[in-house]
Copies of this chain bind each other. A is one copy, B any other.
């Protein structure tokens, strides 16, 4: 998936519908929150083990929420002029330094 192409499609989609007036970064951030809330509702009463083995229907529904999360995140980055690829690559480097592999079995949250 070429994210820049998705950004362009989303931008065109919004422009055609005259949605740019709604799509301030502040509003898009809130829309993202709403989608993450819907995603969370799928997992809230599941055990961790159950969450690793979703049935087909649930998996499809979760896939739709994940798509919504990605769409709003990519759209938000586009409106802010943030280069998503560069940001992700940079963050992965930061994480590699922060959690060196040599400290095997690093415990998260410590």
Chain A interfacial positions (CB closer than 8 Å to B) = 1-3, 6, 9-10, 13, 16-19, 22, 24-27, 29-49, 51-52, 54, 59, 62-64, 66-71, 73, 76-77, 79-85, 87-88, 90-92, 94-96, 99, 101, 104-106, 108-109
Q: Min CB distance, A51 to chain B, in Å?
A: 4
Query: What distance in Å separates the Cβ of A63 from its nearest Cβ neighbour in chain B?
Result: 4
Q: A6-B88, A17-B101, A67-B92 are in contact. List 15 more A-B contacts (CB 8 A).
A: A1-B2, A13-B96, A17-B105, A19-B106, A22-B108, A24-B52, A29-B51, A31-B45, A36-B37, A45-B108, A48-B48, A59-B81, A63-B83, A67-B87, A70-B70
What are 19 A-B contacts with C-beta separation under 8 Å?
A1-B3, A1-B88, A6-B92, A17-B105, A18-B105, A25-B62, A29-B43, A29-B51, A31-B44, A33-B37, A33-B44, A36-B37, A59-B81, A59-B82, A63-B80, A64-B87, A66-B77, A67-B87, A67-B91
